[in-house]
Structure 1
Amino acid sequence: MPVLKEIIDAHAHLIWPTLLKQVDQVIKRAQKQGITTIINTGIKYDDFEPCLRLGKQFPIIKNIIGIHPEEAVQPDVDVKLFKDHFRKHSEEFLALGEIGLDYLQVRDSSLRKFQEQIFRDQLDFAIEMQKPVVIHCRWAEKHAVNILEEEKYSDLPGVLLHCFIGAEKYIARSLEHDNWYFTIPTSVYYKKINQEIAKRLPIEKIMLETDAPFLQPKPEFEVNEPQYLKFSIEKISTLKNISKDDIAEITTHNCKSFFNLK
């Protein structure tokens, strides 16, 4: 596949140990495939320092950070500390995320309530900071969409549903909001559920992501990387009968608009 001129990976975890130890090579391989921006994602307070360090070291990297729903239920979570640090570095983070609900990993009802409390707290904070949010909702699509549609959250600058695989009715409701978008992960290359979502969504609502080092495009790949967005582009192009160049151009435009990238 020819190298396309400009592609953005809207969600990757470059500070994950499997990628961080070879981050120079990961970035070089990505750039060879036309990747011009990688949005690196932190999931807890401890991720501030490595995210900021990578952002300064590599211009290709832009950062977002939030308290991931699995981290939200840890006994040592300190939301105030997180918010205070975010305020100090708000210009260096494009969005608050990933935040949300995870009912697959968190089954206890009392912990789910606490997780929802942290989610709401971060949504309030996003409005205060006027930052868009990147949403993780696994086995909790109904609850997450219901919360995001509450009137008090109508002032969110933008909502990005990360790796969303919710039911059709929640997709339909999400598409009613002009400033809500979806990411399609590299697993779309072989996973039917991601392919069905990609076919359902208009290209004007899609961004591309790897979720590296997870959700690899082929089961035999041990580690996912931003360079593998080429597989997503190839598959989505086939599914939607849109040229690869147009897939890259439109999804890149969507990403720049959502994250206010120059």
Structure 2
Amino acid sequence: MLFDTHVHLNADQFMEDREETIERARAAGVEYMVVVGFDRKTIPLAIEIAEQYDFIYAAVGWHPVDAIDMTEEDLNWIEELSAHPKVVALGEMGLDYHWDKSPHDVQKTVFAKQIRLAKKLNMPVIIHNREATEDIITVLQEENAAEVGGIMHCYNDSADYVQTCLDMNFYISLGGPVTFKNATMPKEVAKIVPGDRLLIETDAPFLAPHPNRGKRNEPAYVALVAEKIAELRGVDVKELGRITTENAFRLFNINPHKK
């Protein structure tokens, strides 16, 4: 039993074969997924997909790259959509210093507003971090995001920051990079994250795991992520699947018996 906690089935790359992609995921043992919406186009589609499948849930938020485009109306819209029974988290949100579309101060403002909304709604947050770790931690601490906690999505940072994230009530989610032959940091992290704070994901269609690196990623490949982490931790892959799925249920407040 596997839970892909972060997938973009709402991306253009799945428009032609979304149903077949979902069927392949189920065949690979992926029993639950969260589809993440992050702008005006992908948010409604995330909810639409979640409505079609009882084992798929949605997250809604505003991506930091597009922070400059977000209005108060968008924030109010996200708040309205958060009441949907299939919406289980706010995000992805955070900071992205790789691309220069949105100034850093604008990103921080939009990030902080979404954290405050999450606290108002008592919902976990999904954090996108690219080349902005210190500022991410500062904003999370200043806004007391520990009140709701959430996920460090596709964690690809030093093991040195893991304890800081845990102390802020966050789970660590690992994806395709943990399988890359030359990726030492995710492998180190995979070994040290406490079992009750570990999650797995694909971020599909991005970051496909080895041996599919460079191709379109899809949720079925979360099985490859689970296998590598189980190997690194010296545990049975079924046990790793069980633990990470239970963690996701707890974080997202999902009762699997009420599908």
Alignment partner, residue 116 of structure 2: 124
Contact 2:95 2:107 in 1 (8 A): yes
Alignment partner, residue 237 of structure 2: 244
For residues 216 and 19 of structure 1, what CA distance do their matches in structure 2 show?
A: 14
Shift of 1:102: 0.5
* Residue 176 (structure 1) aligned with residue 167 (structure 2): yes
Q: Which moved more, 1:242-251 or 1:214-223?
A: 214-223
* Residue 26 (structure 1) aligned with residue 21 (structure 2): yes
* Residue 158 (structure 1) aligned with residue 149 (structure 2): yes
Q: How does 1:99-138 map to 2 (within 5 A)?
A: 99-106=93-100, 111-138=103-130
Q: How does 1:137-216 map to 2 (within 5 A)?
A: 137-150=129-142, 152-154=143-145, 156-177=147-168, 179-190=169-180, 191-216=183-208
TM-score (norm 1): 0.89
1:188 maps to a residue whose letter is: V
Shift of 1:220: 4.5
Identical residues among aligned pairs (%) = 27
For residues 145 and 96 of structure 2, what CA distance do their matches in structure 1 show?
A: 22
TM-score (norm 2): 0.90
Partner SS for 1:105: coil
Alignment partner, residue 3 of structure 1: none
2:113 maps to a residue whose letter is: D
Shift of 1:89: 4.7
Contact 1:188 1:232 in 2 (8 A): yes
Contact 2:43 2:61 in 1 (8 A): no
Q: How many residues align?
A: 251
For residues 70 and 160 of structure 1, what CA distance do their matches in structure 2 show?
A: 19
Partner SS for 1:45: coil
- Unmatched segments (≥5 aa) in structure 1: 1-5
Contact 1:9 1:208 in 2 (8 A): yes
Alignment RMSD (CA, Å): 1.8
